[in-house]
Chains A and B, each alone.
Chain A
Amino acid sequence: MSVHYRRATTVVWRESRGNVLVRPVAVDEITVLSGPGVDLWHLLVDEKTLDELADELAETYAVQSGQVSGDIRPVLDDLVTRGIVDRTVAA
């Protein structure tokens, strides 16, 4: 069983001055991503697993993939809860 993440299609967003502002169409709430959050947002244009995301960010920031994985898991959970990232589970 693998878990994939991707930007939700039901959001609108803008990128400006190192920040990404994302808003679900149905919810009057803006989430602001900055720093590695912006890189994460860019990676989420395609469906990816936690490990794939961690590997790519680890390469960008020259750190251990395992460390990144632990850091971004709660972030992804939060973004899923906010409705701006979709999580799909494939058998």
Chain B
Amino acid sequence: MSATTINSALRSIAAYGLPGSRPRFPDAPVDDATWQAIIEGVRLQRIAPLFAQAIAENSFPTTSHQASNAMELEREALTNALALEASLVDIAALLERAGTRFRVLKGSAVAHLDYPNPAMREFGDVDLLIHPDDIDRTVATLAGHRFIRRFPEPRAGFDRRFTKSVSMTGPRGHEVDLHRTLAAGGFGQRIPVGMLWAAPPGEFTLAGRQMSALGAEERLLHACYHLVLGNSPPRLVPQRDLAQMLLTGHAATDRVRLLAAAWQGESVVAHAVTTAWGNLRLTTDVPLLTWATTVTPRRRDARELARATSTNYSYAAQAVDSLRAMRGARRRLAYISAMAFPRRDYLGSRHAGFASRVRYAVSEVVTTRTMTKENR
């Protein structure tokens, strides 16, 4: 079976069970090499529960050995999700005691609020949106409980003012991402973070604790941003999330469009919806898809989207796009200053020293300029 066929099977697995999906699975159990390639893809894309479901419902033919292999993989995914949720419950308790305002993002929240059964949604870390005013306190609180920060803060106040997220690893080895906003680069910079906190939250219960997430429309927009700006090529799980929300969820299309306009992210949302529908080969029309096909991005957005969806959208290029989207001369100056002259420990964690950083920055800016020119 060719790489294209394996890729097609993975996309069918990601779409499995959605209304209007047309799975393209093999007619008979695949050979060992193909099976290994599929299993690797399923693991990488975090779609083990959907694969197990397709096998259990006899949609994907397997040998008995392959079937038990897939069920083991699903069991691992479920066990990992429960371990992460146990961590989430502990973290929530710590943050509540510290008076931190937070919302659960992505994995656990989407599993409980957007899927008919949370067991269908695999995830690999804990993601929280932290109120910008509370982010320093949150980092300090977790550090006081043996969480270790992945990279130091470039300059004092950077997390609160500019960062997309701070990654920490907990004592159980789980990663927790503390998000100030929902995306990197210019599109992330234009999200009015205050609106995320003003909107009514979605809520679910975990281990007897009420958890707040983003509201349905904000979750849908976040899925779009994660799909388009998170990885290139886009991962299958955010595509499934988006399709699940649009096909079986309760997000109001009018409000999604209003929010997309307020976030200056219509091009991101339109790109996300058409990408998910194309890749997952969905045939059911939804109002947002109809709208998405009519969106013509303005020139600035088209250029930034082209950069952001390329396979080499570097940290430096993201920084340049962030800077372009930033409002206020003082804010821009503070950002440039933090990027150009970070603290020594930050330099040490990312680059050997100042000279190395300058070389890196120069090469990255050159790359960025070249890409910008190419994308004109």
Contacts and interface: CB of A to CB of B under 8 A. Distances in A.
| A and B are partners in one complex rather than unrelated chains | yes
Interface of A: 9-17, 21, 23-26, 28, 30
Given A12-B206, A25-B207, A17 B86 contact: no
A12 to B, nearest CB: 4
Given A16-B78, A21-B79, 16 more contacts: A10-B208, A12-B85, A12-B86, A13-B82, A14-B82, A14-B118, A14-B119, A15-B117, A16-B49, A16-B74, A16-B117, A17-B53, A25-B89, A25-B90, A28-B172, A30-B82
Contacts of A26: 86
A13 to B, nearest CB: 7
B207 A10 contact: yes
Contacts of A15: 117, 119
Give the most central of A10, A25, A26, A28: most B CB within 10 Å.
Answer: A25
B13 interface: no
B119 A12 contact: no
A16 B56 CA distance: 11
Contact of B207 (A9, A16, A30): A9
Interface of B: 49, 52-53, 56, 71, 74-75, 78-79, 81-83, 85-86, 89-90, 117-119, 172, 206-208
Contacts of B86: 12, 23-26, 28
A23 B49 CA distance: 18
Chain A interface secondary structure, helix, strand, loop or mixed? strand
22 contacts: A9-B207, A9-B208, A10-B89, A10-B207, A11-B207, A12-B207, A14-B81, A14-B82, A14-B119, A15-B119, A16-B49, A16-B119, A17-B53, A17-B74, A21-B78, A23-B82, A25-B89, A25-B207, A26-B86, A28-B172, A30-B79, A30-B82
